[in-house]
Amino acid sequence: MLKKTLTLSLLTLSIQSANIHTLLNGVKHHYKAQLGSLDIKKAQNALDLVHSQLYPKIELFGSTTHYTSATNLRPTTPTESANSAPNFPFSRNINRIGLNLSMPIFVKSLYTLADQARLMQRSARAKREIDILKDEATLIGSNANLRYLQKVHKALLRKRKTLLTTKNIIKIKVQSGRAPQSALFKIQNSLSQINIAINNIDIQKENIFALIKTLSGINIRHAVSMYQKRRIHKGAFLALKPLRDKYLADKTSLQAQKEKLLPSLYLQATVNRGYGKSYLTKKSIHRDYGSVGLALKIPILDVPQYKNIEKAKLQTLVSATQIAKTKEELKSKATSLQRELHLLRNSINLNRHNITNQRKLLSIAKSSYDSGRMDLEEYLRYVDALVDAQANLYKSQAQYWQTLAQIAFIYGNDLEHIVK
């Protein structure tokens, strides 16, 4: 019971104390950001895996072998063979146990693959940053859309209040015979349309609440306030950063594939003990045997490796093309959004001016309707016009924030520094 009470208290506190800073901070620590951190760790693991190939590899082995004729447990000199008579170190069945050691001394491709892994790790960091900023931009746009819906909701409530007052007046007029019964039906139909619109808005709001919870992990029940405190810094396109790192990694991978055709130098060592029964005396015998040396491997013909080189070349070309394509798209998108932002500023100013005019017209229409110089339908059109003008203003404001967030994302601006 206490646990449930504490959970409810924390939930209520998160709803009441949420602001744009806590929402954006939530994005930085929610599941998607955590997955990005795991991708960085996976890239680090790939780098560690390459480094691990530079360490010695030691293997314990055991074997048992039957030979068709007696075989020596290890090579012996003539002197040793003479001294061993008649218990010669030869047997048909030989068991061995020992250790093998191998270690790369110089394998150029391994160092190049380590460079590739570092670049992939850097690309993973950049991708995590992009994913966070993208979710922040989505959250800002969602909160702006939520503000738009809430303002429209309030405007509809004001309109409904006005119509309810008008309905009461019309009801008196109908009862006194000064207005037809149809006037009541018309006003009731307008009220029903308002209720339908409010219900649809509530549905949209619930979807936005769920999206914000998914992005930040925080429950809210109303839009949080926000204003722009700093201009957007226009630098390099952020989305190109991981692509460039990926291209460099692919280019490095191509180099590594080519280097696999270069000579490689390895240290190799082995030590073992062979057991058996002397083929003459049938007594147990054993001999120790070991070796250490350098092995130089020079590929002469390796068709699969040639195909790997062709594959790496193709991947590098794909990465370079993707950079050029994305750069062109981002440049076009950024230019379009800048123009759109300018037009939205104008739209906001025009809509504010329009609201002022519509309020004046509605006031005149109300006087005309009260004096009988205007019918009900025409009066309701003025009421609708004011609400529509307010909705257009709120929509323009929401679109402004959404466009601003997109521009900030394209240029890699942390929205916590732009919005307060």
**Same-domain status, 328 and 371:** yes
Within a domain: residue 7?
no
Within a domain: residue 383?
yes
* d(C-alpha 274, C-alpha 267), whole Å: 23
CB 127 within 8 A of CB 246: no
**Same-domain status, 73 and 135:** no
| 381 closest CA partner among 153, 150, 159, 174 | 159
Within a domain: residue 1?
no
**Same-domain status, 140 and 151:** yes
Say what the pLDDT of residue 57 is: 92
Q: Which of 76-80, 159-163, 289-293 has the highest mean pLDDT?
A: 289-293
**Same-domain status, 214 and 126:** yes
Cα-Cα end-to-end distance for the chain: 38
* d(C-alpha 108, C-alpha 28), whole Å: 40
Burial zone of 8 (CB within 10 Å; 0-12 exposed, 13-18 middle, 19+ buried): exposed
Q: 345 is written with which tokens? A: 């500023």
CB contact set of 327 (below 8 Å; sequence gap of 6+): 237, 240
**Same-domain status, 249 and 267:** no
**Same-domain status, 84 and 161:** no
Domain tally for the chain?
2
**pLDDT tens across 243-297, in order?**
999 999 999 999 999 999 999 999 999 999 999 998 888 889 888 999 999 999 9
Q: Report the CATH number at residue 293.
A: 2.20.200
**Same-domain status, 352 and 378:** yes
Q: 318 is written with which tokens? A: 């794909």
**pLDDT tens across 308-337, in order?**
999 999 999 999 999 999 999 999 999 999
Sole residue written with tokens 């520094």 = 417
Say what the pLDDT of residue 43 is: 85
Strand order in the sheet with 57-72: 57-72, 90-106, 264-277, 284-297
Q: Give the amino acid at 143.
A: N
Q: Report the CATH number at residue 399.
A: 1.20.1600.10
> Domain span at residue 385?
18-53+108-262+302-418
CB 101 within 8 A of CB 269: yes
**Same-domain status, 49 and 61:** no
Please state whether the predicted TM-score (pTM) of the whole model is above 0.85. Answer: no
**Same-domain status, 240 and 93:** no
Within a domain: residue 330?
yes
Enumerate long-range contacts of 354-359, CB under 8 Å, 24 or more apart.
354/389, 354/392, 354/393, 355/386, 355/389, 355/390, 355/393, 358/382, 358/385, 358/386, 358/389, 359/386
**Same-domain status, 307 and 290:** no
When pLDDT is cut at 50, 70 and 90, the band that residue 201 belongs to is very high
| 55 closest CA partner among 20, 102, 94, 98 | 102
Within a domain: residue 2?
no
**Same-domain status, 339 and 394:** yes
**Same-domain status, 367 and 254:** yes
